[in-house]
């Protein structure tokens, strides 16, 4: 199941073709959560929401990681 989460994140990145750091994929790889999660392509700081098998706790953990990385890069 962890592979599905990573592939979903990477697929969205490929579709988006965004130029900035992809915090969502970085955080999904660093701390895989059970289930799948969705987030919008592009933008500086995406907000992840749970999808099939995902949990609010998992989304909150990913979003906290995203915020930490964006803050460290001066994007927040």
DSSP codes joined into one string, 26-76: HHHHHS--SS-EE--SSSSS---EE-TT--HHHHHHHHHHHHHHHHHTT--
Whole-number pLDDT of residue 13: 44
Residues forming beta bridges with residue 37, ordered by sequence position: 50
Report pTM: 0.73
**Average pLDDT value over all residues in the chain:** 82
Q: How confident is the model at residue 8 (pLDDT cuts 50, 70, 90)?
A: low
Overall average pLDDT of the 12-34 stretch: 77
List Cα–Cα distances, 58 to 19, 23, 64, 70, in angstroms: 26, 15, 10, 18
What are the backbone angles phi and psi of residue 35, rounded to the nearest 5°?
Answer: 90, -165
Overall average pLDDT of the 69-74 stretch: 95
21 DSSP assignment: -
Whole-number pLDDT of residue 54: 97
Predicted confidence (pLDDT) per residue in 35-54, tens digit: 999 998 877 899 999 999 99
């Amino acid at each position: 199941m962890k592979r599905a989460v990573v592939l979903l994140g990477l697929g969205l990145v490929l579709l988006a073709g965004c130029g900035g750091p992809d915090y969502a994929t970085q955080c999904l790889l660093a701390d895989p959560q059970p289930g799948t999660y969705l987030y919008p392509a592009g933008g500086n700081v995406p907000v992840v929401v749970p999808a099939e098998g995902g949990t609010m706790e998992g989304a909150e953990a990913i979003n906290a990681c995203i915020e930490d990385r964006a803050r460290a890069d001066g994007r927040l």
